[in-house]
């Protein structure tokens, strides 16, 4: 990787760019929709026999997740229909709203503790997780910052002052997430930041230094007690699940058993022994991949991984084709978000990553995570449509020929 980044010329402000819905990235949209449908079925199977979750209604979570999917599709369509120049203007608003939400989770009566982490807002009968919106907010504000400070000032090099300002913007939500504490989301946030910085063209020295500082911060947080004891035990159980098979290592052991039961073709939807007996904790959220492994088998679980791979591939493809720096960094940041989060979620189900409690994109149960992911895909569609526009291609070629 080069130590200096390059910036492609952007269209002049106010330039008219005609796009068509025929330019929609179909593999991207199809993979996201397919994952949502598969996820809804897996969530239904994981909860249908759990009266303690459903209150005796086996279709309760089917209805809830289907409703979440419909809302998410609407949000994605709105984002995809929005002119990307308006998205740039709204980027600070999305970031500010996410930071405000992360602050409010610490307000008594507003924030709620779930599974030991103060990560949720209770708004009426709804539960919202601001950290999910923070992922999108950090992607947008970092992309906007680099675009404005390079393209806006006609520079081709990312300076140290740009990097420091971008890191300061990311550090605010990261610190609030660490205080919750939510290590899983913090790890995803770190992957997003490193990905955006790498694509922006910062020096390798910066990236290596950030990794070192990040590890030092986590170790310091453990030393002063910011990280809860149960989270430390999870990391210890990751190195040896048999260390405490009835405690910290229980989730990993049960997840492996469930996936191992599936074989090649699986035991059939609604027929997984581990799943239907409720042996795997949080199976409709953090460990939803184990439902695919047990009930759909290697082929079904492999299909989920394939669809996630297509999703990430299209993110990076859109980033590579983007003519505008903001578009390129936003698409790359979203690709890092989806890619690392999927790896982390599936990895903890297989025992190759520590248990940190992050959802599988578009598959796990939950509204906020699905809404944020759908808006991210909508943004990618908007970027892809603009990149595929003949007006953009002609303008780009004319600029480079000068």
Domain count along the chain:
1
Give mean pLDDT, residues 359-382.
Answer: 95
Residue 8 lies in a domain: no
- Whole-number Å distance between alpha carbons of 339 and 74: 23
Residue 315 lies in a domain: yes
Residue 1 lies in a domain: no
Is the distance from CB of 323 to CB of 7 less than 8 angstroms? no
Mean pLDDT, the chain, rounded, equals: 84
Residue 15 lies in a domain: no
Confidence class for position 240, pLDDT limits 50, 70, 90? low
Q: Residue 402: its pLDDT value, please?
A: 44
Q: Residue 62: its pLDDT value, please?
A: 96
Residue 4 lies in a domain: no
- Whole-number Å distance between alpha carbons of 8 and 211: 28
Residue 329: is it exposed, middle or buried by C-beta count within 10 angstroms (0-12/13-18/19+)? buried
Residue 363 lies in a domain: yes
Residue 294 lies in a domain: yes
Q: Residue 15: its pLDDT value, please?
A: 44
Q: Residue 13: its pLDDT value, please?
A: 42
Q: Residue 65: its pLDDT value, please?
A: 96
Give mean pLDDT, residues 244-252.
Answer: 66
- Structural domain boundaries enclosing 25: 21-389
Distance from chain centroid for Cα 290:
19
Confidence class for position 378, pLDDT limits 50, 70, 90? very high
12: pLDDT strictly greater than 70: no
- Whole-number Å distance between alpha carbons of 331 and 378: 11
User: What confidence tens digit (pLDDT) does each residue in 270-289 have?
Assistant: 999 999 988 988 899 999 99
Task: Provide DSSP, 45-85.
Answer: HHHTT-HHHHTT-TTHHHHHHHHHHHHHHHHHHHHHHS-HH
User: What confidence tens digit (pLDDT) does each residue in 388-398 have?
Assistant: 655 444 444 44
4: pLDDT strictly greater than 50: no
Q: Residue 352: its pLDDT value, please?
A: 85
Q: Residue 392: its pLDDT value, please?
A: 47
Residue 60 lies in a domain: yes
User: What confidence tens digit (pLDDT) does each residue in 51-110 have?
Assistant: 888 888 999 999 999 999 999 999 999 999 988 778 888 999 999 999 999 999 988 878
Q: Give the CA count within 13 Å in the CB-facing half-sphere of 378.
A: 22
Q: Residue 149: its pLDDT value, please?
A: 81
User: What confidence tens digit (pLDDT) does each residue in 128-166 have?
Assistant: 899 999 999 999 999 999 988 876 555 567 788 888 999
């Amino acid at each position: 990787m080069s130590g200096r980044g390059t910036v492609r010329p952007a269209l002049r402000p106010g330039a008219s760019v005609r796009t068509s819905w025929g330019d929609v990235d179909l593999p991207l949209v199809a993979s996201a929709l397919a994952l949502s449908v598969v996820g809804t079925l897996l969530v239904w199977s994981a909860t249908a026999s759990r009266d303690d979750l459903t209150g005796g209604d086996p279709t309760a979570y089917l209805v809830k997740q289907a409703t979440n999917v419909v809302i998410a599709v609407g949000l994605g369509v709105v984002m995809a229909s929005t002119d990307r120049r308006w998205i740039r203007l709204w980027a600070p608003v999305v970031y500010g709203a996410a930071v405000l939400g992360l602050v409010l989770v610490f307000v008594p009566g507003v924030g709620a503790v779930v599974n030991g982490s103060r990560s949720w807002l209770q708004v009426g009968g709804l539960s919202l997780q601001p950290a999910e919106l923070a992922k999108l907010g950090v992607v947008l504000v970092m992309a906007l910052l680099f675009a404005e400070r390079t393209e806006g000032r006609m520079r081709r090099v990312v300076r140290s002052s740009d990097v420091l300002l971008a890191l300061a913007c990311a550090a605010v939500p990261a610190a609030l997430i660490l205080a919750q504490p939510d290590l899983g989301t913090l790890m995803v946030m770190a992957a997003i930041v490193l990905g955006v910085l790498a694509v922006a063209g910062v020096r390798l020295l910066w990236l290596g230094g950030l990794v070192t500082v990040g590890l030092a911060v986590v170790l310091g947080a453990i030393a002063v007690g910011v990280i809860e004891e149960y989270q430390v035990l999870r990391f210890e159980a990751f190195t040896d699940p048999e260390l405490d098979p009835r405690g910290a290592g229980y989730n990993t052991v049960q997840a492996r058993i469930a996936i191992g039961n599936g074989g090649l073709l699986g035991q059939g939807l609604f027929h997984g022994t581990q799943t239907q007996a409720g042996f795997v904790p949080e199976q409709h959220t953090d460990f939803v991949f184990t439902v695919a492994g047990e009930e759909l088998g290697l082929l079904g679980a492999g299909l989920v991984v394939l669809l996630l791979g297509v999703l990430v591939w299209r993110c990076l493809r859109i980033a590579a084709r983007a003519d505008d720096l903001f578009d390129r960094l936003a698409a790359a940041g979203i690709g890092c978000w989806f890619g690392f989060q999927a790896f982390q979620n599936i990895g903890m189900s297989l025992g190759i990553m520590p248990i940190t409690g992050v959802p599988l994109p578009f598959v796990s149960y939950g509204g906020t995570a699905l809404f944020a992911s759908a808006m991210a895909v909508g943004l990618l569609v908007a970027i892809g449509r603009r990149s595929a526009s003949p007006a953009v291609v002609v303008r780009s070629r004319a600029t480079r020929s000068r």
